[in-house]
A and B are shown apart, each in its own frame.
Chain A
Amino acid sequence: MYDILQALINGTFGWGWPDWLIYLISSLVVVTIILVVAPLQMLFFTYYERRVIARMQDRIGPNRVGPEGIWQPIADGVKMFTKEDIVPEAADRIVHFLAPCVVVAPTILMFAVVPWGPGMTPVDLPTSLLFFFAVSSISAVGLMMAGWASNNKFSLLGAMRAVAQMVSYEIPAVLSLIAIVMIVGSLSINSIIEYQAGLLISNRDLPGIPDLGLGWFVFTPVGFVAFIAFFIAALAEGERTPFDIPEADSEIVAGYMTEYSGMKFGLFYLAQYVLNFLLCAITAILFFGGWQGPGVNWLYAQAITPTNPDGNGLFNVLAGALGVFYFLLKTYIFFFVMVWLRGAFPRLRIDQLMDFGWKFLIPLTLANLFSAAVWVAFTRWGAAEGMLITVGWSPVLRWLAAFIITLAINIGVYLWLTQVYAASQAERRRVELEELSATL
């Protein structure tokens, strides 16, 4: 944004404004865009989810307000605003008030590092991926505050469940990311996206692959396992079915949101859908190339960039539009999968959830980390790093060896883990049945 404004104001118009003013304006513009886009995505997602889930349940869904019910989310928003804001008598007022803010603020902050298209990152931090997950973990504190301040046992139970689930599923999520970070060798989201240029194979792993923007990580064994593990963990972090036990309405009313009404409830709702959007977006970015797609890199090569200052501004717009299109398309497809899972699966129990996370996903992602190390060793290391086997191999051979070995490791570990996990679950059920029959 800063580059474009700089080129536009001082270059095209020649006004010669000082740097700090341009910097201020560009920051304000970016912040405004984020603050407008985030709630709009949430509005769209509520509508999208309700329509899709209705279709799956053989209903029509919201269809009264506007054509095909498209204004339904806005009507809901108006309803939220006009509702009375009730604070329970025994609640801790300040904490009760602060909790929704603490939940919403991190989700908006996370937008700061999400790249929407080529050169369209609000803040390009060198540690942006870590920033994303660090900030996302703050909302656990907000949930805890909400649950405790409401002074309601359902709220407290819901908050405890939500936080336990978020904290335990953060581990497989981050472990599966580390595999990707190891391969890319950078914590910056932008370099992760740039790595995924190519056609089925990243052209960083195998130079010479034509760049169609399709060298996604999901096509490698390491990336595939990381993707599956990360998406499951994302379902748990976003409190989606089958991991929606924190707000299981048939068990604990509405979880930590029980005592909230009016716009505070609306804020929790906002935070949840924005978080879902961000989780889908980060899945698309890390494993499906984000804005990468056929044509984007070609268009962007001719645009105004720091390395190419005398490009054509039109190509900036074209590359940006195409990139945003690919990015949102992927994101919406992932959200569709989330809704699809909601339509297809029943809710897990909390012990099943914990067992699955700790006894299956974490070992799987740890093994995947090992595969990632093997991948790096085979595709990139030479004699200098002590990798003597691959000296003299052609890049194709190296890539093939890495692919086969990591595939073998991952499949082997998966098969072994499923067996162990099933056995442990059966054993546990047997012990529980025995205990039960002993007590009765």
Chain B
Amino acid sequence: MEVVVQITFGVIAVFILVAAAMVVSVRNVIHAALWLIACFFGVGALYMLLEAEFLAVVQVLIYVGAVSVLILFAIMLTRQITGEGVRQLTNRWPVVLAIATLLFATVLAPTLINQQWNVPPAPPLGTPEPIAGPAELGRGFVNEFLIQFQVVGVLLTVALIGAIVIAYEERARRRKVLTLAEELELKRLREQTSPTVPAPVEAEPVVQESRSASER
């Protein structure tokens, strides 16, 4: 039984690390986002292995279902969709790599492994162990963690409003999407008046196309 758990843990760990390494190294941003989703899944599986069932489901619901979709949306809204051929790492990436590796190899890993953790002895296999489940969590949120819970609620509301305000584009600045007849009319007018009128600033096309539907 223990061997099965060890193998499962090993597979999950390798999966998480490979996916994470791909996230930071792949050229294509969309591929990086997809690897990020794979990494979230791996972390969810690890929670499942650690018997934090509720957290595993929440991980899938929030990270895979919401955050990664948000990231994919943002990538697609900011044109250079694939990023192929664009340099993805800064010039200083070898330095950063060295720092990260050193941090792991000389500080974190030795400390974590050499530290004497006073882990309470695990009960022998087969004995039921009291583990806090969703019901206890819910009770905790309305008793001991009430203030924190409400602060997080306020934070989420603020973030929601803030995100809307930041990404909001004023009505007047949005480019109208014209029908073909209107466009020709406009072109004719422009040619008549002055040939030097600058064309309206081209912004990202995807945003406008999705906007256009809501403009009509």
B42 CB to nearest A CB, Å: 14
Looking at B5-13, B64-72, B114-122, B190-198, the stretch in contact with chain A turns out to be: B64-72
A14 CB to nearest B CB, Å: 24
Contact of A40 with B by CB under 8 A? no
Contact A127 B57, CB 8 Å, known A144-B69, A350-B214: yes
Contact A160 B76, CB 8 Å, known A148-B30, A187-B134, A351-B214: yes
Contact of B216 with A by CB under 8 A? yes
Alpha-carbon gap, A144 to B206, bound state (A) = 14
Contact A141 B57, CB 8 Å, known A126-B134, A354-B214: no
Contact A140 B57, CB 8 Å, known A349-B213, A350-B213, A351-B213: no
Contact of B19 with A by CB under 8 A? no
Contact of B20 with A by CB under 8 A? no
Q: How many residues of A contact B (CB 8 A)?
A: 35
Contact of B210 with A by CB under 8 A? yes
Establish whether residues B34 and A145, one from each chain, have CB atoms under 8 Å apart when the complex forms.
yes
CB neighbors of B among A107-153 (8 A): 125-127, 130-131, 133-135, 137-138, 140-141, 144-145, 148
Q: Which of B53, B176, B182, B206 contacts A156 (CB 8 A)?
A: B206
List of A residues within 8 angstroms of B171 by Cβ: 435
Contact of A247 with B by CB under 8 A? no
Closest residue of B by beta carbon distance from A125: B53
Contact of A439 with B by CB under 8 A? yes
Establish whether residues A138 and B57, one from each chain, have CB atoms under 8 Å apart when the complex forms.
no
CB neighbors of A among B183-216 (8 A): 206, 209-210, 213-216
Contact of A170 with B by CB under 8 A? yes
Establish whether residues B53 and A167, one from each chain, have CB atoms under 8 Å apart when the complex forms.
no
CB neighbors of B among A141-190 (8 A): 141, 144-145, 148, 156-157, 160-161, 163-164, 167, 170, 186-187
List of B residues within 8 angstroms of A354 by Cβ: 214
Contact of A209 with B by CB under 8 A? no
B189 CB to nearest A CB, Å: 12
Establish whether residues A439 and B57, one from each chain, have CB atoms under 8 Å apart when the complex forms.
no
Establish whether residues B60 and A138, one from each chain, have CB atoms under 8 Å apart when the complex forms.
yes
Establish whether residues A160 and B30, one from each chain, have CB atoms under 8 Å apart when the complex forms.
no
List of A residues within 8 angstroms of B57 by Cβ: 127, 130-131, 134
Contact A141 B68, CB 8 Å, known A349-B213, A349-B216: yes
Closest residue of B by beta carbon distance from A136: B65
Contact of B99 with A by CB under 8 A? no
Establish whether residues B210 and A160, one from each chain, have CB atoms under 8 Å apart when the complex forms.
yes
Alpha-carbon gap, A187 to B136, bound state (A) = 13
Establish whether residues B69 and A141, one from each chain, have CB atoms under 8 Å apart when the complex forms.
yes
B157 CB to nearest A CB, Å: 13
Establish whether residues A137 and B64, one from each chain, have CB atoms under 8 Å apart when the complex forms.
yes
Q: Which of A130, A140, A439 contacts B69 (CB 8 A)?
A: A140
Contact of B133 with A by CB under 8 A? yes
Establish whether residues A141 and B72, one from each chain, have CB atoms under 8 Å apart when the complex forms.
yes
List of A residues within 8 angstroms of B182 by Cβ: 440
Establish whether residues A138 and B53, one from each chain, have CB atoms under 8 Å apart when the complex forms.
no
Closest residue of A by beta carbon distance from B75: A148
Closest residue of B by beta carbon distance from A135: B60
Alpha-carbon gap, A138 to B214, bound state (A) = 27
Establish whether residues A127 and B66, one from each chain, have CB atoms under 8 Å apart when the complex forms.
no
Alpha-carbon gap, A141 to B72, bound state (A) = 8
Contact of B37 with A by CB under 8 A? yes
Establish whether residues B133 and A126, one from each chain, have CB atoms under 8 Å apart when the complex forms.
yes
- Which of A140, A144, A163, A432: most chain B CB closer than 10 A? A144
B156 CB to nearest A CB, Å: 12
List of B residues within 8 angstroms of A435 by Cβ: 171
- Which of B53, B58, B72, B210: most chain A CB closer than 10 A? B72
List of B residues within 8 angstroms of A160 by Cβ: 73, 76, 206, 210
Contact of A95 with B by CB under 8 A? yes
List of B residues within 8 angstroms of A432 by Cβ: 215-216
Q: Which of A125, A137, A440 contacts B66 (CB 8 A)?
A: A137
- Subset of 22 A-B contacts with CB under 8 Å: A127-B53, A127-B54, A130-B57, A130-B58, A134-B57, A134-B65, A138-B60, A140-B65, A140-B69, A141-B68, A141-B69, A144-B76, A148-B72, A156-B76, A160-B73, A160-B206, A160-B210, A163-B72, A349-B213, A350-B213, A432-B215, A435-B171
New A-B pairs, 20, CB < 8 Å, besides A137-B64, A156-B76: A130-B54, A131-B57, A135-B60, A137-B65, A138-B60, A140-B65, A140-B69, A141-B64, A141-B69, A144-B69, A145-B34, A148-B72, A161-B210, A164-B73, A186-B135, A350-B210, A350-B213, A351-B216, A439-B176, A440-B182
**Chain A contact residues, CB within 8 Å of chain B:** 92, 95, 125-127, 130-131, 133-135, 137-138, 140-141, 144-145, 148, 156-157, 160-161, 163-164, 167, 170, 186-187, 349-351, 354, 432, 435, 439-440
Can you list the 9 inter-chain pairs with the closest CB atoms, starting with the nearest?
Answer: A137-B65, A134-B61, A351-B214, A134-B60, A350-B213, A144-B72, A130-B57, A134-B57, A131-B57
